[in-house]
Structure formats: C-alpha cells, structure tokens
A and B are shown apart, each in its own frame.
Chain A
C-alpha cells in the first residue's frame, strides 16, 4: 500500500491494472494490461509468451514423423485437430492420400474432439460469467468423449491418433455402439445446457452487446472459426476447402448477426449439434480397407513448400512447411488460430467494463499453449 502515491490514488482518472498471468479467467498464463478510467477500459495490451516452448524450432530438428506428438501439446484441448492438420499437410507434399477408412476415422475423431473442445469452452466461459452448473454438466459429456479416445488410443488429451499416411490403430470392439449411444443422447444434453443459459436473464445481460465486432473488422484482424461466424460470415473450411471425408456429409454453418458474445455462444452451441450430425452420418458407413497408405518408413518429401489449413475448433489452423528433401523440415510454421484471434481482444474490449474483459477472453476461446507454442 505504501508504494502507491497518494495523489494518484485519490485523483485516479486513469489507472493501469495488470490482469494475470495468474488469473483464473485468463485460461492459462495470459497477462492483459488494462488502462482504466473508473471501470471503463480505455486500452488493453496482451502480454503473451509465458508458455513458449519453441515448437517451430523443434519442427526443424525432429523428423517429419517425430514432430506430431509435439503438436498435440499446442492446443491440448483439441489435439486431434492439430494432428490431422499436420498429417494432411505432409501427405499433400508427399502426393499421397490416406485410405477412405482412415479418412472416416479421422473425421469422426475430429468432430468428437470439436464437441469436447466446445464443451470445455462452454463450461469455463459460463463459469467465468458466474454460471456454475453448466460446467458440471458439460464435463459430464466431455468425459464420455474422452473415454472413447482413451479406448481408441490410450490417451485422453494428447492423443497422437493419426500418422502421416493414415491412422495407426484399428477401431476397437464396441466403438460403434459407444459412439452411437453418445450421438443419440447428445442433442438432448445440448438442449439441457440451453435451458440453463439461452434465456437466462443474467446470461443475456452479461453477453448481449458485449465484445461486438463487425464482419469487416473481424476479417481485417484475421478472426476465424466461430468468432468470425458469430459476426455473420458463413465461412467454414470444412465447406470451403473440404478435407478428410467432409465432402461426403451434410451439415450447416451456423452464423450470428450482431457479432456479440451471445451470438458466438449460439454459434458454438449449434456447431456442437452439427458435429453430432456429422458423426451420426459417418458412424454407420465407415468403409473397410487398409488404415495406412503406402508410405516409406523414412519420410523424405520432395523439395518445395506447402500450405494447408483445416477448421480447428478455434478457427483456421494452418501449416506452412518447407522441405529441402531431408528427413526434417527446413522450415515448419504453424498458423495458430488462437494467436491471431487474441489480437482482436484489444478492439473488442475498448470502451467496455472490466467485467466484460473476462467475458470477451472467454468468448474468443483461446488456448495459451497454442498462442505461445
């Protein structure tokens, strides 16, 4: 207390508050320096990098296959997506495609992972704003998905499910019935979460008109994923540039109108239903056949560069790889969705209340492991 100058304490027209890096609502180690006028935010500056592990440098020093488990540690909530994006990029550079059976398994797993990622977002986002119950319900269903992952590959979070050229493991006995049971029950659970939030007056007061961003600004700042769709841009890489087996399935792209926190909430809730729909279509008709394409043990892609991106739960996850024909990448670049999305935080919180900063961080759905890499 003695360090505060009394003059500035009582004449506090502008104060600077440091939020984080140890703060429960920053979802990891994120520091936001807020310049405040009373309770209103004048400026916000994000300080990141606390979790930097040099993932891209590691990619230049590990073989093409060895880098995959490292990538699971970026967005650890959606490790399956990270793995899928990278494997497909290398396959594209090698000029091979995974067999249809592997494509279907990949699609089902990625969609289940999207649901689990959105469930974690829903639970923590609601908890930040003050709705405790949803968290418990969301984690109940997330547990079912993690059980499926565990049965399939032995891990719950950092799964390393796929390999360059296909998938490693055959489906286990009872996979189909377990997934079918989940898919059957899940839409009712989403409806259950909605009864708690969608028309809840406190929820509406905390999310309507908070963190508004227009479609034009969202594109300019590079927002992708549900955050962009909440602003009314119906753009989804699964439709725009179909990968894995997405071209075979029917699903809708939910969009919002005003681009506020409530719209992004509605988009993600609907996305969970659509993911459920994709899994439902895929589970009955997984084709038979091999799991791996014909691929050499030592992977040496041809000289050249490639960019490939997928629709991760948080947005566009891209990989830009440069090969010089060696067993390691010459340059391995990850375009993480959270890193680019977090950049929008500043313009979304300026002019709002301090409490809304928490809501906006939640609605951007960031994972610091992916931002800092």
Chain B
C-alpha cells in the first residue's frame, strides 16, 4: 500500500523540485485576497540563547526562528532531526524533557507535510514549536528514541497522513483498522469514493452517493456520480 503510493508520487512531481527550502506558508501574513479586514498578527523574528546555541551547533539545519502570537517557533530541516531533538532535550539552558504533541499538516499545493513537534520545558515553563517540512514521498526519522511519547503520536500521524517514519519500532495503524485504504487527514482523501467502493464490493449494488474528485474543498461542479 505504502509502496504503491510512493511509486505514484515518484512519477508525477519530477519538474517542481525546489532545491532551496520551501517558503513556510502557514505563518505568513502575506494576505491573500480574502484576508479579513484587521491585518492580523504577524510573525516577528525571535531568538534566544538556546536557539543561538542550536544554530551554532547545526548551522545549516536551522531555517529560521520566530514568534507568533507570543508562541516561539523554530523551523528546522528534516535531515538531522533526531540530533536536533536530542540537543533540545539534553541542553542546560532550557531542557525540553516533555514532548507535548507531534502532529502533521498537509500542504498539497507544495506536496509537503509539515511535521509539528510541540515541546515543553518544566525548568523554564515554556513551550517551543519545532516544525520540519518533508515532501510527501520522503521519510523522516522517528524521535521515539528521544521521547517514548512519540511512539503512539507518530503511529497516529502515519495512520492519518501516511507519513512513514524511519526507525520507528512499530509503525502500524493505531486508530483505523489494518485494512483501511488511504490516509483520512490528507487533503486529497476522498471518503465518498471509498464508501461507493465499499458498497459495491460488499453489497453488490450501486450506492448512488455523489462523490467528488480532486481537492477536499472542491466546487460543486466537480461532483460526479458513479454512473458518469
């Protein structure tokens, strides 16, 4: 299943391979056309002794650090994620011994997953959000060796997004059944198509449900019925 997906994706996106790190759209104030009237908060550049130490240690791995609505964030590359996380856990300035959450966000336009780690330091009483972007077909190293909390959290990310973690002790589905098709929290996941197929296979009839192709927020015109 996973291999199949990989092959599909390997084929199509040959041309748009950006060599430079992709721009981070989520926290950009760059105001699309439909932006609300109040200009909204803007991420401001931010640094701390810890971030400086991190940058000194992994100079080419730290993309940028910033603050958004009072919350500290740092974007890093995925290649040395375990080393970075181990450093963040074991440093003396602000040891982030507690992994609060690990999750992902799908950005289909750039064919990327943003892996989000939320860390907490009991000593300094602060949160830090570490983000790392991977292309849809790429693997990222598992951080279970750093915090054992990550075990189930990464299994859930795999279950919902299909992100394949390298060196994870038990990367299987956790909430959905083993034979489930697809990864539901991807933006291109199509629940109605799956429902139609299930009804066809198990009941031998056409469900008549309409489903759509393409993006989750498709226009009404994109809806097709199984007869089409």
Tell me if chain B binds chain A.
yes
Verify if B151 is at the interface (C-beta below 8 Å from A). yes
Across the interface, do A307 and B118 meet the contact criterion of CB distance under 8 Å? yes
How many Å from the CB of A70 to the closest CB on chain B?
Answer: 15
Q: Is the CB of A95 within 8 A of B41?
A: yes
With contacts A54-B184, A56-B160, A93-B69 taken as known, whether A320 is within 8 angstroms of B103 at the C-beta atoms is yes
Cβ proximity bits A240-253 to B, threshold 8 Å, 1 near / 0 not: 11000000000000
* CB contact under 8 A between A56 and B185, given known A241-B125, A320-B118, A339-B152: yes
Is B218 interfacial (CB-CB < 8 Å)? no
Using known A-B contacts A222-B98, A339-B152, determine if residue A48 contacts B174 with beta carbons closer than 8 Å: yes
Within 8 A of B (CB), among A222-257: 222, 233, 235, 240-241
A343 interface residue, CB < 8 Å from B?
yes
Contact A372-B97, Cβ < 8 Å, known A92-B69, A303-B35, A307-B129: no
Q: How many residues of A contact B (CB 8 A)?
A: 42
Q: Please judge, given known A-B contacts A57-B184, A221-B149, whether A307 and B105 are in contact too, CB under 8 Å.
A: no
Interface stretch of the complex, out of A21-29, A264-272, A325-333: A325-333
Cβ of A287 within 8 Å of any chain B Cβ, yes or no, is no
Given A48-B174, A302-B36, is A340 in contact with B125 using a C-beta cutoff of 8 Å?
Answer: no
Contact at A335–B38, with CB atoms within 8 Å?
Answer: no
Q: B68 — which chain A residues lie within 8 A by C-beta?
A: 304-306
A60, B127: Cα distance in complex, Å = 25
Query: How close is B124's CB to chain A, nearest CB, in angstroms?
Result: 11
Instruction: Tell me the A29-73 residues at the B interface (CB within 8 Å).
Output: 48-49, 52, 54, 56-57, 60-61
Contacts of A85 in B (CB 8 A): none
Chain A min CB distance to B171 (Å): 15
Query: Which residues from chain A contact B38 at a C-beta distance below 8 Å?
Result: 302
Chain A residues whose CB sits within 8 angstroms of the CB of B122 once the complex forms: 219, 233, 235
Tell whether, in the assembled complex, residue B26 and residue A305 are in contact, meaning their CB atoms are under 8 Å apart.
yes
Chain B residues with CB under 8 A of A54: 184
Q: Find residues 152-193 in chain B having any chain A CB closer than 8 Å to their own CB.
A: 152-153, 156, 160, 173-177, 184-185
Select the residue from B68, B148, B175 with max chain A CB neighbours within 10 A: B175
B-contact 0/1 string along A276-316, CB 8 Å cutoff: 00000000000000000000000010111111010000001
Q: Is B116 an interface residue (CB 8 A)?
A: yes
Contact B41 A220 (CB under 8 A): no
State the CA gap A340–B98 with chains docked (Å): 12
Which residue of A54, A331, A372 has the most chain B CB atoms within 10 A of its CB atom?
Answer: A331
Q: In chain A, residues 326-359, which have Cβ atoms closer than 8 Å to a Cβ of chain B?
A: 326, 330-331, 333, 335, 339-340, 343
The answer to whether A303 touches B125, judged by C-beta atoms less than 8 angstroms apart, is: no
For B71, list chain A residues within 8 Å (CB).
306-307
Interchain CA distance A309-B126 in the complex, whole Å: 12
B105 CB to closest chain A CB (Å) equals: 5
Interface residues on B, range: 35 or more
Q: Is A369 an interface residue (CB 8 A)?
A: no
Would A240 and B160 be within 8 Å (CB), given that A220-B149, A325-B34, A340-B153 are in contact?
no
A99 at the interface (CB under 8 A from B): no
CA distance A339 to B152 in the complex (A): 8
A333 vs B104: C-alpha distance when bound (angstroms)? 9
Out of B40, B127, B149, which one reaches A304, CB within 8 Å? Answer: B40
- Chain A residue with the shortest CB-CB distance to B99: A222
* List of A residues within 8 angstroms of B103 by Cβ: 320, 333, 335
Asked if B149 contacts A325 (CB within 8 A), the reply is no
Contact present for A306 and B69 (CB under 8 Å): yes
Contact between A304 and B26 (Cβ–Cβ < 8 Å)? yes
- Please report the C-alpha to C-alpha distance between residue A363 and residue B122 in the assembled complex, in whole angstroms: 24
Contact of A318 among B34, B106, B118 (CB under 8 A): B118
| B175 CB contacts on chain A under 8 angstroms | 48-49, 52, 372-373
A364, CB-defined interface residue at 8 Å: no
Question: For residue A307, which residue of chain B has the nearest CB?
Answer: B118
Residues of A within 8 Å of B30, CB to CB, are: 303
Is B56 at the interface (CB under 8 A from chain A)?
A: no
Decide if B27 is an interface residue (CB 8 Å cutoff).
yes
- Which A174-220 residues have C-beta < 8 A from chain B? 219-220
Residues of A within 8 A of B32 (CB): 303, 325
CB pair A222 B41 closer than 8 Å = no
Contact digits for B103-117, partner A, Cβ 8 Å, 1 yes 0 no: 101100000000010
A52 to B159, CA, bound (A): 12
Contacts of A309 in B (CB 8 A): 100
Interfacial residues, chain A to chain B (CB-CB below 8 A):
48-49, 52, 54, 56-57, 60-61, 92-93, 95, 219-222, 233, 235, 240-241, 300, 302-307, 309, 316, 318, 320, 322, 325-326, 330-331, 333, 335, 339-340, 343, 372-373
Q: Could you list 7 examples of A-B contacts with CB < 8 Å?
A: A52-B176, A219-B98, A304-B69, A305-B26, A305-B68, A305-B116, A325-B36
Nearest first, the 6 closest Cβ-Cβ pairs linking A and B are A302-B40, A222-B149, A49-B175, A335-B101, A331-B105, A52-B175
